[in-house]
Amino acid sequence: MSTISFSGLATGIDTASIISQLVALERRPETLLKNQQTTNTTKISDLQKIEDYLSTLQNVVKGFNSPATFAATKASVLDSSVLTASTASGATPGTHTVEVISLAHNQRQVSDGVASATSKIFSTGSFTINNGSGTTTTVNIAEGQNTLQGLASAINSSGANVSASVINDGANYRLVVNGNDTKNYAFDFSGLSTDPVGGTGALVPNLPQAGPTYQAGTDASFKVDGVSMTKQSNTVTDAIQGITLNLAKEGSSTNITVTTDTDSITTKLNNFVTAYNNVISFINSESTYNATSKTAGILSGDSTVRGIKQQLQSLLTSPVVGTSGTFNSLASIGIKSDSKTGTLSLDSAKLTSNLTNHYNDVVDYFAHNGGTSATTLARNKYGIAQQFNLVIETMVHAYTADGVASNGLLEIAKHTLTLKNKQLDDAIATQEDRITALQANLEAQYAAMEKTVSNLKAQGNLVTSFFASNSSSSSSSNSSN
C-alpha cells in the first residue's frame, strides 16, 4: 500500500520540492549516461545509412566489374519485319545476315463437334498422349469427368507438354489441343472403353490430323551467314553468341549490325558517380563542423568514417597493374573529383572521346581480370570496378564473431556501440536503484522530521493550554477573595 504524504503540514516547509530537487541533482550522472546512449544510437543509425549507401555503390560496381558486363552492345536490324534482335553479355560488334525460311509452329488439333461441353457423353477408362519422341503420358477418365470440359481439364493436369481448351463454333463445342513446343502429339482414345452411365452409347473424341483446323508442329528453319539451322522456337538465343533473335517473317532475309553501345556505358558510369556521391555527401553532412551554430556533426572526428572516406578517395587515383597504361585514374577517363567536397562529376565529352578512340583501354581499366568472384590476385591487379568492390566489402561485410578478420569496419563500429549501450543500460539501472533508495530514505527522514515537529507542536500546545488553564483558575480565585 502506498504512503500518503502531506508535505510540510507540520513544519510549513515544502519537503516534496526539496526531495525532488535533491533527487534531480543525484540524477545528473544518470542523465549524462542516457545522453551518451542517445548519441551512440544516433551514430549507429548514421553508420547504417553509410553502409546502405556503400552497399548500393558496391552493387553498381559489381554490375560492370568484368569485360562482359562492362562492355555494352546494341543490335540494329535492317528490316524489322523479318526479325528483331537484342544483345546481351558476350555479343561482339559485327554484321550478320539472317534468312528466315520457315517459322516454328506448334501443333494444333481440333476435335469433331458435340452438342454440350458439360454432358457426360464420353466413355470412361484411360487414353494416352505420345509426344512422337518416345514419351507417353496416360490420362485416366472416371465417370463424372467424361465431359468435353472434363477431358480438357484432365489433359491440362496430365503433365504432357500440351494445353487444352473448349471452343464454341456457334453450333457445336470442340476440344482444341495445342502443343507447347514444336513436337507432334498423337492421342490414342482406344482405352476409353466403358460406356457412360447415361446410356448414350460408346463415344470417344475424334482429333483429325488433317484438314483446315489441323496445324502440324514444325521447327523454325533459317540461315545465319549462310549456315542452315533449325530451332524449336521463333525466339532463338544460341545461334549468334550474345544475340537473341525473334523470327517474324518467312521467306525473307535481313542484316543485323552489332555496335558498341556507348550510351549504355555512360549510363553505368553516371550511376557509379551518383552512388559514390551519395556516400561522400552523407559523410560530409554528418562530419562537418558548423561555424555558425558552433556544432559538429554526430560523426565528426569518428576515425572509422574518416578512414572509409580516405579509402574511397584513394581509389580514384588507384592504378591497375597489367593494363596498357593509357589510363591511370578515373580523372584520366573523364570522372573528376571536386577538391572541396570530394564528390565526382562526369565529363561527358571526355568520356565519349575516350570511348571512341580508346574503347578497349577504358574497358580494361574498369574490368581488368574482372569477375564477381575474382579475389585471388592482389587488389591492384584488378580493374577499378573490382577494386571498389573488394574495398567496400571490407567495410560492409557482416559481423560473424569477435576477432574474425572478415568483419566489416562499419559492422565492427556498430557492434562496439551496441555493446557500449548495453553496458550503459546496466550502469543506468544501477544508478536508478541508488536514486530510488535515496528518494525513499529522504522521504522517510522528512516524514520523521514532520512527525517529530508535529509531536513537539502538540506537546507545546498542551503546555500552553495547561498554563493558560492555571492562569485562568488563579485569576478567578483572586477575584473571589
Q: From the CB of residue 416, how many other CB atoms can be counted at a distance below 10 Å?
A: 13
Q: Which residues contact 307 (CB under 8 A, 6 or more apart)?
A: 409
Whole-model pTM over 0.75: no
Please report, in tens digits, the pLDDT of each residue of the chain (481 residues total). 444 454 555 556 677 787 778 777 777 887 788 888 888 899 999 999 999 999 999 999 999 988 888 888 999 999 999 999 999 878 889 999 999 999 999 999 999 999 999 999 999 999 999 999 999 999 999 999 999 999 999 999 999 999 999 999 999 999 999 999 999 999 999 999 999 987 778 899 999 989 999 999 999 999 999 999 999 999 999 999 999 999 999 999 999 999 989 999 999 999 999 999 999 999 999 998 877 878 888 898 899 999 999 999 999 999 899 887 789 999 999 999 999 999 999 999 999 999 989 998 999 999 998 765 556 888 999 999 999 999 999 999 999 899 889 899 999 999 999 999 898 877 778 877 787 877 778 777 777 776 777 677 777 777 777 677 766 666 665 555 5
Q: What integer pLDDT is reported at residue 179 of this predicted model?
A: 96
Q: How many residues does the chain have?
A: 481
Q: Report the relative pairing of strands 252-260 and 94-102 from DSSP bridges.
A: antiparallel
Domain boundaries, the chain: 28-67+264-411, 74-98+224-259, 108-194
- Retrieve residue 343's grid coordinates: 564528390
The amino acid at 1: M
Distance CA 123, CA 196 (A): 5
Query: DSSP alpha helices (H): ranges in 199-261?
Result: none
Question: Among all chains, which residue has been given the C-alpha cell 469433331?
Answer: 112
Strand residues in 210-250 grouped as ranges (E) = 220-224, 227-231, 235-240, 243-247
Taking phi first (over 0 means left), then psi (-120 to 50 degrees means alpha), and beta for anything else, what does residue 170 get?
left
- Pick the closest to residue 137 from 146, 127, 147 (CA basis): 127
CB 380 within 8 A of CB 387: yes
User: Helix, strand or coil for residue 426?
Assistant: helix
Q: Which residues contact 457 (CB under 8 A, 6 or more apart)?
A: 10
- Retrieve residue 355's grid coordinates: 570511348
- Retrieve residue 179's grid coordinates: 502443343
Question: Among all chains, which residue has been given the C-alpha cell 539451322?
Answer: 229
Distance CA 305, CA 286 (A): 10
Q: From the CB of residue 187, how many other CB atoms can be counted at a distance below 10 Å?
A: 21
The amino acid at 30: E
CB 232 within 8 A of CB 182: yes
Q: What integer pLDDT is reported at residue 4 of this predicted model?
A: 46
